[in-house]
């Protein structure tokens, strides 16, 4: 595709009406084309005019209250301050045991270092094992791979879901935003207009990566849409939280 | 979508929100609630869901105000794009769960207070609706299905029983015509 082809797609992109493959291609082009980025901003302004078409409506006053109350909670809950513990004994008496303390610190540092290295090695091996499993699954006859992309809160996040006809599924996600305490990501399988079928929950590691092995229920194998929401840590039977990642229609 | 001064005010409000000014958030909410709620009601056709999404939108504004870049667009566009996008996300979740009953008539909107009416640019709404009415139906429908129902071009082609290429052309032409019809309608539209 050439520059003009992409340019033609921009009005539809401003209406977020491009099909998944076209949107992906255009997004890649936009990364390197400031002229098209500017044009997209202009078309978005035009599309935004459509927001004025519906009749204005007044929400109930409780909405305002709820927003402001959440905001206040948000302000008071951060930052968390952990108080220092007051010294329990006379500072002077510590001098005698400084050598012992230094030795303990050194040994502790060594032990921590060894544990960190061992963990990193184990994590790397686990990641490799998962990647192998993913490749194996993809090579299974009839296997499918769907791509999920982050929206809104999770712009930039991506995930690939591979699954076969028997329902073995493996999700590999990256660049996920951290989830709040007590929450987890949950995978959903959506078949047509039926209620979403819940998948497992998962929490990304400190780098925002996650791997999830799941067994899809029979009816979920025909899912045409896959989504990831943020839910209470134990998972729920019907989605309650916002969608962070979703697949787009394959045509 | 609004006169320059109001726009500057909005930029100031967003900057204040980014600096954790709660009163600024309340002010922005008061300024835009009826537009955004009207939009969400149009998308979701359900008062409870629309209020819930409206709340989510403003909480997101609170958390993400610092991401707003005045060099990349107007506050109105940023806010409306955010609101519409959250509305469509919720619509898809609901559609997948068990679509909000479509049969019922649209829920009546409550009467709008004077203050809100003042903030709401009813004149601009009139211009947008007039411009839309001037578009041929074949151009207007793809725009509406994309913007308010969140359908992609392929889905629109299926819905309208029209070839995909035709839908693409009509959508592009429709948006271009809308821009031309709104251009020159005073400084308020800004494009």
Compute the average pLDDT of residues B118-123: 59
On the 0-12 / 13-18 / 19+ scale of CB atoms within 10 A, A102 is exposed
Alpha-carbon gap, residue B68 to A212, rounded angstroms = 34
Q: Which CATH number fits domain B121-185: 2.40.240.20, 3.50.4.10, 2.40.160.40, 1.10.10.10?
A: 1.10.10.10
Backbone φ, ψ for residue A234 (5° rounding): -75, -5
Tokens of A116: 């960190």
The fold of A137-247 is: Immunoglobulin-like (2.60.40)
Backbone φ, ψ for residue A169 (5° rounding): -135, 145
Compute the average pLDDT of residues B140-155: 95
Lowest mean pLDDT among A67-81, B108-122, B177-191: B108-122
- Give the residue from chain B lying closest to A244, CA to CA: B89
Q: What is the pLDDT of residue A143?
A: 85
Domain ranges of chain B: 1-119, 121-185
Question: Are both B1-119 and B121-185 of the same fold?
Answer: no
Instruction: Compare B20 and A86 and report the one with higher pLDDT.
Output: B20
Which chain B residues touch A193 with a CB distance below 8 Å? 95-96, 98-99
Which chain A residues touch B60 with a CB distance below 8 Å? 152-153
Cβ within 8 Å of A, B 40-69: 41-42, 50-51, 54-56, 58-60, 62-63
- Give the residue from chain B lying closest to A48, CA to CA: B77
Compute the average pLDDT of residues B2-21: 83
CATH 1.10.3720.10 corresponds to the domain B1-119: no
**Which of A9, A48, A240 to probe the B interface (max B CBs under 10 A)?**
A48
CB of B80 less than 8 A from some CB of A: yes
Which chain A residues touch B171 with a CB distance below 8 Å? 11-12, 15, 17
CB of B120 less than 8 A from some CB of A: yes
pLDDT at residue B187 above 50? no
Task: Give the length of chain B.
Answer: 191
On the 0-12 / 13-18 / 19+ scale of CB atoms within 10 A, B80 is buried
On the 0-12 / 13-18 / 19+ scale of CB atoms within 10 A, B45 is buried
Q: What is the pLDDT of residue B81?
A: 93
Report, in angstroms and rounded to the nearest whole number, the Rg of chain B calculated over CA atoms. 17
Tokens of B121: 């640019």
Q: Which of B1, B51, B132 is facing A59, going by the closest CB pair?
A: B51
Banded pLDDT at B184 (limits 50, 70, 90): low
Q: What is the pLDDT of residue B150?
A: 93
The angle formed by the CA atoms of residues A40, A44 and A47, to the nearest 5 degrees, is 140
Smallest Cα distance from B177 to chain A, Å: 10
Q: What ipTM, to 2 d.p.? A: 0.87
Cβ of A124: how many Cβ atoms within 10 Å?
10
Share above pLDDT 90 across residues of chain B, in percent, rounded to a whole number: 65
Residues of chain A with CATH 2.60.40: 137-247
Q: Which phi-psi region, left, alpha or beta, contains residue A55 (left: φ > 0; alpha: ψ -120 to 50)?
A: beta
Residue numbers in chain A where pLDDT is lower than 70: 76-99, 123, 127, 249-251
């Amino acid at each position: 595709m050439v520059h003009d082809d992409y340019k033609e797609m921009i009005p539809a992109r401003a209406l977020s009406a491009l099909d998944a493959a076209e949107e992906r291609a255009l997004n890649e082009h936009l990364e390197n084309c400031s002229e098209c980025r500017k044009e997209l901003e202009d078309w978005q302004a035009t599309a935004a005019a459509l927001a004025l078409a519906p009749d204005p409506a007044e929400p109930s006053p409780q909405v305002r209250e709820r927003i402001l109350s959440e905001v206040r909670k948000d302000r008071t809950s951060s930052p968390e301050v952990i108080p220092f513990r007051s010294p329990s004994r006379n500072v002077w008496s510590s001098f005698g045991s400084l050598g012992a303390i230094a030795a303990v610190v050194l040994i502790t540092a060594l032990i921590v270092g060894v544990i960190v290295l061992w963990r990193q090695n184990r994590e790397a091996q686990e990641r490799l094992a998962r990647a192998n499993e993913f490749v194996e699954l993809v090579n299974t006859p009839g296997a499918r791979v769907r791509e999920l992309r982050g929206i809104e809160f999770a712009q930039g996040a991506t995930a690939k879901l591979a699954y076969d006809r028997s329902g073995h599924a493996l999700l590999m996600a990256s660049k996920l935003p951290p989830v709040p305490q007590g929450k987890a990501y949950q995978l959903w399988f959506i078949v047509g207009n039926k209620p979403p079928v819940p998948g497992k929950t998962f929490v990304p590691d400190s780098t925002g990566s996650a791997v999830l092995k799941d067994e899809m229920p029979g009816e979920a194998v025909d899912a045409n849409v896959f989504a990831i929401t943020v839910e209470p840590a134990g998972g729920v039977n019907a989605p309650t939280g916002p969608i962070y990642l979703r697949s787009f229609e394959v045509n | 979508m609004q006169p320059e001064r109001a726009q500057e005010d909005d930029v100031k409000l967003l900057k204040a929100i980014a600096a954790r000014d709660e009163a600024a958030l309340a002010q922005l909410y008061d300024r835009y609630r009826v537009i955004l709620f009207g939009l969400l009601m149009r998308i979701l056709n359900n008062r409870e869901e629309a209020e819930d999404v409206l709340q989510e939108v403003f909480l997101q504004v609170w958390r993400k105000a610092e991401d707003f870049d005045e060099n990349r667009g107007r506050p109105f566009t940023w806010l409306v794009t955010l609101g519409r996008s959250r509305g469509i996300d919720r619509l898809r979740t609901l559609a997948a769960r068990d679509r909000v009953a479509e049969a019922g008539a649209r829920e009546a909107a409550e009467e709008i207070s004077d203050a809100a009416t003042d903030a709401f640019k009813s004149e601009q709404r009139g211009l947008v609706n007039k411009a839309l009415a001037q578009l041929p139906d074949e151009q207007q429908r793809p725009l509406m299905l994309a913007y308010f129902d969140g359908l992609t071009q392929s889905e629109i082609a299926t819905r309208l029983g029209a070839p995909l290429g035709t839908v693409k052309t009509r959508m592009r032409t429709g948006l271009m015509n809308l821009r031309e019809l709104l251009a020159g309608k005073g400084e308020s539209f800004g494009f």
